[in-house]
Structure 1
Amino acid sequence: MDVNPRKIPTQRRARATTDAIVEASTQLLVEGGYERFTTARAAERAGVSVGSLYQYFPNKAALAAAVIDRCCDEFTVALEQALAGRPRITLAECIRAIVDVILVSHQIAPDLHKVVIELAPRIGVADKTDSMNRRMAEGIEAVLRLHADEIAPEIDLSTAATIIETLLVALSHRAAMAGRQEQNDVIASETTCMITRYLAAG
């Protein structure tokens, strides 16, 4: 299954066209799922011809992959922004910032999050979400290293970052699949407390 774009837009107008197509595809996937999703419907929703769409995307799998790409990129940027400047605050505040991005103010809406979870392995692009998760763990590890003096010396920071990332991703996926995002504030508080206690020195 070819999920790669036919060509990468370089001019502003071409980028605007592909952005519109990806946004239309996102809406359609959330509204009707992958089975009802077609390139013709995506082109119609985006206000472009099917021929224009095919200049960039060979099939609906490539469109879905582009949606997943954009979701992963947007989430990674949101996490990096949340962690920027964190050396000035405590470890507990950093952990809460990480938890908030992943569980509370997740940049991927719950319905779209569910689409990404289900579609990535189905169309053979699980490596995209895996890469996002690795970048998430790396970001968490970087924060932990900045606060190493607040963390128990026997804890391996790389391992701890992987554990925290795995826990938070599992919780966010479960919330998305269950449609219980309204409970995330409570879950975030409890999770922050649990992680902070796990890391705490003394």
Structure 2
Amino acid sequence: MDVKPRKSPRQARAKATVDAIIEGTIQVLLDEGYESFTTARVAERAGVSVGTLYQYYPNKAALAVAVVDRCCEEFLIAFENALDERRCTTLDDCIRALVDFAFVSHHVTPERHRCVLELAPRLGVADRTEVVRKTAVKVLESTLRRHADEIAPEIDMTVAATMIETTMEALAHRAVMTDPAQTQNDSLAKEATRLITLYLFTGK
């Protein structure tokens, strides 16, 4: 099945239309699930005609893939901003920003996060989420290297970045998939902060 967009918006009005379609798709997916949602329901929610929708997306699978792509893009932009060196001047700042990003701020809401986790493998686009993971590891490694003088000397920065990303991803995913309320639990954020801090500062 073709899941590629038929065309990309170029003008501001067209971009606004596509944004409305994608947001409408997210809302319908969350309300009705992938099996039940239709392009007609998306068009209705987005406030556009079905014909307009089909100018950009050939079918509902293409709409769902567009949602995965949009959420992945938004995640990476927010993640890079959260660990921006102008905001994270110390390693403590970076750890707090990382934990806040994963468990507090919800730049991608738990509901949308869960939607992406379920849809990506089903639609054969799990490679999109793998690109996100690899990019996040690179951002983390760069962040750690900026603060190498604050980190235990025996820590391998590349390994540490992978370890931290894997740990945070696993905690966030488990919470999102089993009990989204856990992502709002202060104790989980505190324990994650302590875990990362002890690892980086003591090397244990």
Q: Please report how far the alpha carbon of residue 185 of structure 1 lies from its aligned counterpart in structure 2 after TM superposition.
A: 2.3
Q: Which residue of 1 is the match for residue 198 of structure 2?
A: 197
Q: Please report how far the alpha carbon of residue 98 of structure 1 lies from its aligned counterpart in structure 2 after TM superposition.
A: 1.0
Determine if contact 1:86/1:143 at 8 Å carries over to the other structure: no
Distance in 2 between the 1:16 and 1:56 partners? 12
Q: Larger deviation: 95-104 or 137-146?
A: 95-104
Q: Please report how far the alpha carbon of residue 158 of structure 1 lies from its aligned counterpart in structure 2 after TM superposition.
A: 0.7
Alignment of 1:48-197 (within 5 A): 48-85=48-85, 89-178=89-178, 179-181=180-182, 183-197=184-198
Q: Please report how far the alpha carbon of residue 182 of structure 1 lies from its aligned counterpart in structure 2 after TM superposition.
A: 5.3
Matched, 1:21 2:55: no
Please, what is the CA RMSD of the aligned residues? 1.6
Residue type at the aligned position of 1:188: A
Distance in 1 between the 2:189 and 2:91 partners? 15
* Identical-pair percentage: 59
Structure 1: runs of 5+ lacking an equivalent: none
How high is the TM-score relative to the length of structure 1? 0.94
Determine if contact 1:155/1:199 at 8 Å carries over to the other structure: yes
Question: Which 4+ residue blocks in structure 1 deviate beyond 4 angstroms?
Answer: none
Q: Secondary structure at the match of 2:61?
A: helix
Determine if contact 1:96/1:188 at 8 Å carries over to the other structure: no
Q: Larger deviation: 180-189 or 4-13?
A: 180-189
Distance in 2 between the 1:181 and 1:40 partners? 35
Determine if contact 2:138/2:161 at 8 Å carries over to the other structure: yes
Q: Secondary structure at the match of 1:10?
A: coil
Q: Please report how far the alpha carbon of residue 95 of structure 1 lies from its aligned counterpart in structure 2 after TM superposition.
A: 1.1
Q: Please report how far the alpha carbon of residue 88 of structure 1 lies from its aligned counterpart in structure 2 after TM superposition.
A: 5.8
How high is the TM-score relative to the length of structure 2? 0.93
* 1:5-40: CA deviation from partner (whole Å, max 9, x where unpaired): 111010111111111100100101111110111111
Distance in 2 between the 1:119 and 1:180 partners? 21
Determine if contact 1:75/1:106 at 8 Å carries over to the other structure: no
Q: Please report how far the alpha carbon of residue 87 of structure 1 lies from its aligned counterpart in structure 2 after TM superposition.
A: 7.6
Structure 2: runs of 5+ lacking an equivalent: none
Q: Secondary structure at the match of 1:142?
A: helix
Distance in 1 between the 2:183 and 2:99 partners? 15
Determine if contact 1:86/1:94 at 8 Å carries over to the other structure: no
